């Protein structure tokens, strides 16, 4: 809201604006801001509604139309935390952390190794393997889920976090391999050559020169792997079937089964809590998330 | 893409022929060994977790398999049943196509529209962009699907708001003609991700082009049609490919909102949900594998069409120089 008046003020004192080739500010600018703010209200409504409802008492949920509660009822959070008989939400949180951290470590390590080979080393058939890697980029995950389930079932891994984590240590997230390849190509090759003259082999060059310089891509991989895994539902639903092994998304679903107005408050409270880590990641890495990865794909 | 992968190393290779005379060949061999060593985890993943399972699922698709007894070869029976004797299968195809065909263009149109508004007015762009991105960040989660279910359910908040305006409320989720619409809305709501990509693309259009356009008397609409859109077409194409692939793989929201059934009347039975129900609800692994191959085939064709169509309407700025 506050930005609209300031645009109005800036219009008269910025007469050069039209010469920059973009349409002049002024009335058009205000209209744009009004439209943007209206869109923003619609876009953020579900989120505000979720947070507001999580603080409403059962009566308010059915009576109060406002997004925000008249009286805050933090009790929903306590009720939700221990809302599923036999297991607390702390367990779901812990399980989600284990899976997400495992995936992040796996992706960062294995994708960096593969990317270095593709970006920097010369070896026979490299073009073939690179093309295959790009091919798997477009391969839908759901196509592999049945045979992978059979495989992990035979290994006795079903109902453990292993099927969710171990594949990530094998650079199966081709998107991140591709991201890092693109990034490493931007690192000046003269650095490698200097290292080679100093007697560094490929391994020392990777660990001492290339890996430290790839840090921005590693951070991007970390952030996006974490958020993806934290929100992932499909594979966790397939592989985890014991309530003590449940992660947050699967645990949240249990609230839906226990329907009734009284469950809505606690269900929303736990929904809010489950999104807090993602939101914190967003606050810390906002610039990177909004500007980094998404644009890196089109510059290559 | 594999082609561009090759170009810089080839230059490097030529350069290093100089030092081949003093023992370059063993160094080359060492580099090849190192290359395969670095790729070792990826190779294990490629063969063990991707290629071999794909072949295995092709085999399974010709069998009857419930995980308990060993697979029984039944030839093409799964495919025949899928195509001729399973109305639910066709319902899921219909729901998926409808979902993708409506949600992908809608999402991209909103993303482009908001990006155009944002890039004209620089003030507060950072904040707007971050806030519009939030739905993309959270939208794929079960938590938001739960919110959606409540929002559009029988006593949902939306009905109460509509009631204030005098529109009779109903359950949008239990009505077969509107249930899929709520999923489309949820998908379009997450327009922030393609929006930031559009913004990045818009920034790369040289301002001189608009200046030249304005000098030639082109109005805003003409500028958009003849400058912005062609210049943005590679980015639009990139977004279209990404969103099409994602659009065909929607699962979480359909599962949560329909309570894991794809109902009402199969209206939200997205392909992946039906595959899940056959494979992991009924443990018809053979049938689910046949479905997976059908999916791969159709998605492959659609992706090919999108790429083909790209050569008709995607304009690359450096095309003239080649």
pLDDT digits 0-9 by tens, A123-173: 999 999 999 999 898 888 888 999 999 999 999 999 999 999 999 999 999
- CATH T-level topology, domain A89-299: MetI-like fold (1.10.3720)
- In 10 A of CB A280, how many CB atoms? 10
Q: Do B200 and A133 touch (CB under 8 A)?
A: no
| A110 CB-side CA count, 13 A | 25
Question: Which of B39, B138, B155 lies closest to A129 in CB terms?
Answer: B39
Nearest to B226 by CA among B307, B311, B315: B315
Residue ranges of chain A assigned to CATH 1.10.3720.10: 89-299
User: Are B49 and A172 inside 8 Å of each other by CB?
Assistant: yes
Residue pair B181/B172 in contact by the 8 Å Cβ criterion:
yes
| DSSP secondary structure of A51-73 | HHHHT--HHHHHH--SSS-SS--
CA A167 to chain centre: 18
- Chain A and chain B share a number of CB contacts under 8 A equal to 307
Taking the C-alpha atoms of residue A285 and residue A216, their distance in angstroms, rounded to an integer, is 11
The residue whose two tokens read 């009505």 is B175
Which residues in chain A come in under a pLDDT of 50?
A: 1-24, 294-300
- Cβ burial, residue B21 (10 Å; 0-12/13-18/19+): exposed
Asked whether residue B42 is domain-assigned, the answer is no
Q: How many domains does chain B have?
A: 1
Eight-class DSSP state of B319: G
Q: How many residues comprise chain B?
A: 322
pLDDT of residue B154: 67
Neighbouring C-beta atoms of residue B84, cutoff 10 Å: 9
User: Dihedral through CA B84, CA B86, CA B92, CA B95, nearest 10?
Assistant: 70
The HSE-up count of residue A225 (CA atoms within 13 Å, CB side) is: 32
Token pair for B154: 């029988």
Residues of B in contact with A21 (CB under 8 A): 207-211, 214
- Classify B314 in phi/psi space as left (phi over 0), alpha (psi -120 to 50) or beta: beta
Per-residue pLDDT of chain B (322 residues; tens, 9 = 90+): 344 444 444 444 444 444 444 445 887 888 899 999 999 999 999 999 999 999 999 999 999 999 999 999 999 999 999 999 999 999 999 999 999 999 999 999 999 999 998 887 567 888 898 999 999 999 999 999 999 988 888 666 677 777 777 777 778 888 888 999 999 999 999 999 999 999 988 888 888 888 888 888 888 888 888 888 999 999 999 999 989 989 999 999 999 999 889 989 999 999 999 999 999 999 999 999 999 999 999 999 998 999 899 888 888 765 544 3
Cβ separation B2–A6 shorter than 8 A: no
Contact at CB, B67 and A117, closer than 8 angstroms: no
pLDDT at B311: 85
Contact residues for A36 (Cβ-Cβ < 8 A; gap 6+)? B114, B117, B118, B121, B128
Give backbone dihedrals phi and psi of A131, rounded to 5 degrees, phi first.
Answer: -65, -40
Q: What is the pLDDT of residue A26?
A: 60
CB contact under 8 A, B142 and A249: yes
ipTM: 0.85
Give the whole-angstrom CA distance, residue A235 versus residue A260. Answer: 28
3-state secondary structure of B64: strand
Specify if B259 maps to a domain: yes
Q: Are A107 and A168 in contact (CB under 8 A)?
A: yes
Domain range for B293 is 83-317
Per-residue pLDDT at A125: 94
Rg (CA), chain A: 25
Contact partners, residue B292, CB within 8 Å, separation at least 6: A142, A143, A144, A145, A146, B57, B61, B275
**Residue B125 domain-assigned?**
yes
Q: What angle do CA A244, A248, A252 make, to 5 degrees?
A: 95
Rounded to 5°, the CA angle B250-B253-B254 comes to: 75
**Alpha helical stretches, state H, B39-177:** 40-44, 52-60, 77-84, 87-120, 125-138, 142-152, 157-165
Q: Report if residue B260 sits inside a domain.
A: yes
Interface contact A274-B143, CB threshold 8 A? yes
Of B46, B200, B245, the CB nearest to A298: B200
| CATH code of the domain in which B273 resides | 1.10.3720.10
Verify whether the Cβ–Cβ distance B5 to A21 is below 8 Å: no
* Residue A27, both tokens: 């009335």
A27 at B interface, C-beta within 8 A: no
For A3, the closest of B30, B124, B160 (CB atoms) is B124
* A138/B189 touch (CB, cutoff 8 Å), yes or no: no
Q: CB-based contact (8 Å) between A134 and chain B?
A: yes
What's the rounded Cα separation, in Å, for the pair A289 and A283? 10
- Shortest CA distance to A169 belongs to which of A230, A226, A114? A114
| Residue of B142, B290, B302 best to disrupt the A interface, most CBs of A under 10 A | B142
Residue A289's pLDDT is what?
77
Contact (Cβ atoms closer than 8 angstroms) between residue A118 and residue B5: yes
Task: Name residue B63's beta-bridge partners.
Answer: B73
Q: Note whether B116 and B129 are within 8 A (CB).
A: no
User: Which residues 67-126 of A are in CB contact (within 8 Å) with B?
Assistant: 110, 113-114, 116-118, 121-124, 126
Distance from C-alpha of A261 to C-alpha of B154, rounded to nearest angstrom: 12
Q: From the list B121, B235, B249, which residue is nearest A142 (CB)? A: B249
Between positions 252 and 281 of A, the ones with CB within 8 A of B are 252-253, 255-256, 264, 267-268, 270-272, 274-275, 278-279
Q: Do B138 and A231 touch (CB under 8 A)?
A: yes
């Amino acid at each position: 809201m506050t930005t609209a008046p300031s645009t109005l003020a800036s219009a008269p004192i910025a007469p050069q604006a039209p010469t920059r080739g973009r349409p002049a500010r002024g009335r058009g600018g205000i209209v744009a801001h009004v439209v943007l703010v209206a869109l923003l209200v619609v876009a953020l409504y579900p989120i505000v509604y979720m947070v507001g409802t999580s603080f409403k008492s059962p009566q308010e949920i059915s009576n109060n139309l406002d997004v925000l509660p008249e009286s805050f009822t933090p009790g929903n959070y306590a009720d939700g935390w221990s809302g599923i008989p036999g297991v607390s939400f702390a367990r779901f949180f812990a399980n989600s952390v284990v899976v997400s951290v495992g995936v992040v470590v796996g992706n960062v390590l294995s994708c960096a190794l593969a990317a270095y080979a593709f970006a920097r080393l010369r070896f026979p058939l490299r073009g073939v393997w690179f093309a295959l890697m790009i091919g798997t980029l477009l391969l839908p995950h759901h196509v592999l889920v049945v045979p992978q389930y059979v495989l992990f079932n035979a290994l006795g891994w079903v109902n453990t976090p292993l099927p969710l984590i171990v594949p990530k240590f094998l650079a199966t997230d081709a998107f991140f391999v591709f991201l890092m390849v693109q990034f490493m190509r931007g690192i000046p090759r003269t650095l490698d050559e200097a290292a080679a003259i100093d007697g560094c082999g490929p391994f020392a060059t990777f660990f001492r020169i290339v890996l430290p310089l790839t840090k921005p891509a590693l951070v991007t991989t970390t952030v996006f792997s974490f958020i993806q895994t934290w929100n992932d539902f499909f594979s966790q639903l397939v592989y985890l079937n014991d309530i003590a092994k449940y992660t947050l998304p699967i645990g949240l679903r249990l609230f839906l089964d226990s329907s009734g107005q009284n469950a809505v408050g606690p269900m929303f409270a736990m929904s809010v809590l489950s999104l807090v880590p993602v939101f914190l990641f967003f606050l810390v890495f906002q610039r990177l998330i909004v500007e980094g990865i998404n644009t890196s794909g089109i510059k290559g | 893409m594999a082609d561009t992968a090759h170009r810089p190393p080839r230059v490097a290779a030529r350069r290093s022929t100089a030092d081949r005379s003093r023992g370059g060949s063993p160094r080359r061999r060492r580099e090849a060994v190192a290359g395969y060593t670095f790729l070792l985890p990826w190779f294990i993943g490629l063969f063990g977790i991707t290629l071999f399972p794909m072949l295995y699922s092709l085999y399974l698709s010709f069998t009857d398999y419930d995980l308990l007894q060993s697979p029984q070869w039944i030839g093409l029976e799964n495919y025949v049943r899928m195509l001729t004797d399973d109305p639910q299968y066709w319902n899921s195809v219909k729901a998926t196509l409808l979902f993708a065909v409506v949600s992908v263009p809608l999402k991209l149109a909103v993303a482009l529209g908001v990006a155009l508004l944002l890039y004209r007015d620089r003030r507060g762009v950072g904040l707007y962009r971050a806030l519009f991105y939030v739905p993309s960040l959270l939208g794929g989660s079960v938590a938001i699907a739960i919110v959606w279910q409540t929002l559009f359910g029988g006593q949902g908040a939306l009905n109460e708001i509509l009631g204030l305006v005098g529109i009779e409320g109903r359950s949008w989720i239990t009505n077969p003609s509107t249930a899929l619409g709520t999923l489309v809305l949820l998908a379009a709501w997450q327009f922030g991700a393609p929006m930031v990509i559009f913004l990045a693309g818009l920034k790369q259009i040289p301002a001189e082009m608009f200046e030249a356009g304005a000098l030639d008397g082109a109005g805003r609409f003409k500028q958009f049609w003849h400058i912005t859109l062609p210049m943005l077409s590679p980015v639009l194409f990139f977004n279209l490919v990404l969103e099409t692939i994602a659009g065909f793989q929607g699962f979480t929201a359909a599962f949560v909102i329909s309570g894991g059934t794809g109902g009402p009347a199969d209206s939200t039975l997205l392909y992946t949900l039906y595959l899940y129900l056959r494979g992991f609800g009924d443990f018809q692994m053979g049938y689910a594998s046949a479905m997976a191959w059908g999916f791969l085939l159709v998605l492959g064709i659609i992706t090919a069409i999108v790429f083909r169509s790209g050569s008709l309407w995607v304009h690359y700025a450096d095309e003239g120089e080649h």
